[in-house]
Amino acid sequence: MVAALTRIFGVHNLPLAEDVVQHAFLRAFEVWKLRGVPENPSAWLMATAKHRALDIVRNERTARTFAPELGRLLDTEWTMAPAVAEAFSAHTIRDDQLRMMFSCCHPQLPEEAQIALMLNILCGFGADEIAGAFLVKRSAMEKRITRGKKVLAKSRKLFDLTDVEFSSRLDTVRRGLYLLFNEGYHGSSARVAVRSELCHEAMRLVAMLMDHAPSNSAATGALATLLCLHASRLRARVNERGEITALAEQDRSQWDAALIAQGITLLEDASVGEVFSTYHIEAVIAAAHSHAKSIGDTNWGVIVLMYDRPMSIAPSPVVSLNRAIAIGERDGAAAGLQAIRDIADRERLDAYPFYFAAMGELELRLGNNAAARARFADAVRVARNVTERRFLTKRLAGVPA
Amino acid sequence: MADFLLIYRNTPAASAAAFGTPEMAQQNMQRWISWMRELESQGHLKDGGQPLEPGGKMVQGRSKAITDGPYAESKDLIGGYSIISATDAAHAAELAKGCPTLDGDGSVEVRPVGSMAL
């Protein structure tokens, strides 16, 4: 709704658009509590927002400038109503949401700000919800969002999807959605390790990219695959108490078969042609896991192959760690431990609990119980939240005396 | 059975409390919806009514003076109304006890609706 309203009011009037949305929700609460929730709540909200937008245009058109693109259309009574109605039509709303997504991923903004803006404007998350998810103080998040909106306002209108910058902006948008999904999937929040709402929002936004021909490219398809395949494991990955289960131990019957099927189809479509992006690499790895009936069944050869491909982004110690784990699976625990020892810059992993946990696993498989216990204890020491601590403590307790 | 108008009044503080956050607004709405459903299922709900927004006008006396108001900050601002049917005013008042506005220290005025029926 906010995106549709900025089409009418202009991006520089974003606060006005937000007020109208806020007002629509407040009215909804007041009316629905007496008359019950309508059959189509979002249509009701849209209609309320639309009426109020018309009122504002009517009453304030001498005092304010609205969207430059609509210009004269808002000047007279008989052109204003259709212009407002058009802004609220389904296909225009979809377009505007897409344009808003691209606008939020402004290259002048740091990535955390881009994600915060998308969550706030497109997904309706409040500043303190976003602050909680990213382990940041509420005041800092509010500042981040306000600064972001100022940058948006400077451009006066939403990003034009036919702009020459489209491809590079699309890269930024994809990265933003990837980071958003990961934040929900892996998370470093103090309250819960996994926040499925963030994953679902990221998937919803990627679906919008897929629906729009110019952004429906191989790399986008690979990203969509990746999100589907990871999301398929959410139910098995975290239980009601918020405890994480490692991939190796997940009950695969809990994996969402429909999402897996969808992901595999997306991957097939994205694998036609010559583009092989970093998202493809991760998607193939995820697919290797999704195809396997159990961890023992997994095609670790393919996975190591993927990790060995030269990647367009600089490999990170965490990626090297995952590769070493895959080598451990394919070639045995001793090879895995050696691969970990071979990681360049591995001191950078000193604050990453799963680095120690991986070594613990491998030592355990070799029967080096004392070494395993020491590594798991290291992991517990650097656990970043309650959920991780619980999971790693259980691991530690599981080492035979 | 007769009809009774329920006039809801809320205190400004309680309104602010009920709508403090989206979660509170949602919970508040749920409480109202449950109460309304209960009245309906027992055959007492005649008309859910409407909320009344603040920011209206007052037309007063022989001079027909028009002033702005009442305002959202007014004490005893009427927030809305509903119509229920009950055996008598005492019964209607009992039914009104379930109204969520009371939890916020608001009030419900219960008035018999005059009827033309003989």
Indicate if the pLDDT at residue A314 is higher than 70.
no
Least confident of A45-49, A129-133, A282-286, B12-16: B12-16
CB contact under 8 A, A33 and B33: yes
Could you report the predicted ipTM of this complex, rounded to two decimals? 0.81
Q: What pLDDT, in 10s, does the model give residues A315-349?
A: 678 888 989 999 999 999 999 999 999 988 888 88
Residues of A in contact with B78 (CB under 8 A): none
Question: Cβ(A230)–Cβ(A181) under 8 Å?
Answer: yes
How far apart, in whole angstroms, are the C-alpha atoms of residue A394 and residue A353? Answer: 14
CB < 8 Å from B in window 35-54 of A: 35-37
The residue to which tokens 């005013």 are assigned: B89
Residue A56: both structure tokens together: 């504002």
Judged by a CB distance cut-off of 8 A, whether residue A26 touches chain B is: yes
How far apart, in whole angstroms, are the C-alpha atoms of residue B80 and residue A256? Answer: 47
Phi, psi of B67, rounded to the nearest 5 degrees: -125, 160
Share of chain B above pLDDT 90, in %: 54
A1 vs A332, more confident: A332
Which residue of chain B is at minimal alpha-carbon distance from A37?
B33
Q: What is the CATH number of the domain that holds B100?
A: 3.30.70.1060
Q: What is the pLDDT of residue B23?
A: 77
Beta-bridge partners for B6:
B82, B110
Q: What is the pLDDT of residue A362?
A: 95
Q: Which range, A7-11, A74-78, A147-151, has the best average confidence (pLDDT)?
A: A147-151
Interface contacts A/B by beta carbons within 8 Å: 42
Report yes or no on B117 lying in a domain.
no
Question: Cβ(A141)–Cβ(A116) under 8 Å?
Answer: yes
CB contact under 8 A, A34 and B80: yes
Residue A365: left (phi > 0), alpha (psi -120 to 50), or beta? alpha
CB contact under 8 A, A33 and B28: yes
CB contact under 8 A, A34 and B29: no
Which residue of chain A is at minimal alpha-carbon distance from B49?
A34
CB < 8 Å from B in window 209-268 of A: none
Residues of B in contact with A32 (CB under 8 A): 29, 33
Residues of A in contact with B80 (CB under 8 A): 30, 34
Report yes or no on B87 lying in a domain.
yes
Q: What is the pLDDT of residue A248?
A: 82
Which residue of chain A is at minimal alpha-carbon distance from B83?
A34
Judged by a CB distance cut-off of 8 A, whether residue B72 touches chain A is: no
Q: What pLDDT, in 10s, does the model give residues A10-20?
A: 888 899 999 99
Residues of A in contact with B33 (CB under 8 A): 32-33, 36-37
Residue A187: both structure tokens together: 């998370």
Q: What pLDDT, in 10s, does the model give residues A340-358?
A: 999 888 888 888 888 999 9
Least confident of A239-243, B8-12, B30-34, B45-49: A239-243
Indicate if the pLDDT at residue A293 is higher than 70.
yes
Q: What is the pLDDT of residue A336?
A: 95
At B78 the three-state DSSP class reads: strand
Indicate if the pLDDT at residue A190 is higher than 50.
no
Which residue of chain A is at minimal alpha-carbon distance from B24?
A29
3-state secondary structure chain A: CHHHHHHHHCHHHHHHHHHHHHHHHHHHHHHHHHHCCCCCHHHHHHHHHHHHHHHHHHHHCCCCCCCCCCHHHHCCHHHHHHHHHHHCCHHHHHHHHHHHHHHHCCCCCCHHHHHHHHHHHHCCCCHHHHHHHCCCCHHHHHHHHHHHHHHHHHCCCCCCCCCCCHHHHHHHHHHHHHHHHHHHHCCCCCCCCCCHHHHHHHHHHHHHHHHCHHHCCHHHHHHHHHHHHHHCCHHHHECCCCCECCHHHCCHHHCCHHHHHHHHHHHHHHCCCCCCCHHHHHHHHHHHHHHCCCHHHCCHHHHHHHHHCCCCCCCCHHHHHHHHHHHHHHHCHHHHHHHHHCCCCHHHHCCCHHHHHHHHHHHHHCCCHHHHHHHHHHHHHCCCCHHHHHHHHHHHHCCCC
Nearest-CA distance B22 → chain A (Å): 9
Least confident of A94-103, A179-188, A255-264, B56-65: A179-188
Residues of B in contact with A26 (CB under 8 A): 19, 25
Residue A398 class from Cβ within 10 Å (0-12 exposed, 13-18 middle, 19+ buried)?
exposed
Average pLDDT, chain A: 88
The count of domains in chain B is: 1
How far apart, in whole angstroms, are the C-alpha atoms of residue B111 and residue B90? Answer: 11
How far apart, in whole angstroms, are the C-alpha atoms of residue A167 and residue A98? Answer: 14
Nearest-CA distance B80 → chain A (Å): 9
Judged by a CB distance cut-off of 8 A, whether residue B55 touches chain A is: no
Domain extent at residue B101: 2-112
The residue to which tokens 């609205």 are assigned: A66
Report yes or no on B82 lying in a domain.
yes
Beta-bridge partners for B102:
none
CB < 8 Å from A in window 7-46 of B: 19, 21-22, 25-26, 28-29, 32-33, 36-37
Report yes or no on B118 lying in a domain.
no
Judged by a CB distance cut-off of 8 A, whether residue A126 touches chain B is: yes
Q: Residue B33: which of A27, A36, A126 has the nearest Cβ?
A: A36
Residues of A in contact with B19 (CB under 8 A): 26, 29
Q: What is the pLDDT of residue A86?
A: 85
How far apart, in whole angstroms, are the C-alpha atoms of residue A359 and residue A200? Answer: 32
Indicate if the pLDDT at residue A88 is higher than 80.
yes
The residue to which tokens 């289960």 are assigned: A245
A364 vs B70, more confident: A364
Report yes or no on B42 lying in a domain.
yes
CATH superfamily assigned to domain A317-401? Tetratricopeptide repeat domain (1.25.40.10)
Q: What is the pLDDT of residue A187?
A: 65
The predicted model scores a pTM of 0.75
| Residue B104 DSSP symbol | G
Q: Residue A32: which of B21, B29, B82 has the nearest Cβ?
A: B29
Residues of B in contact with A33 (CB under 8 A): 28-29, 32-33, 36, 51
Mean pLDDT of A183-198: 72
Q: H or E element: which one contains B46?
A: strand B45-51
Residue A214: both structure tokens together: 């110019």
Domain boundaries, chain A: 1-88, 317-401
Q: What is the pLDDT of residue B46?
A: 92
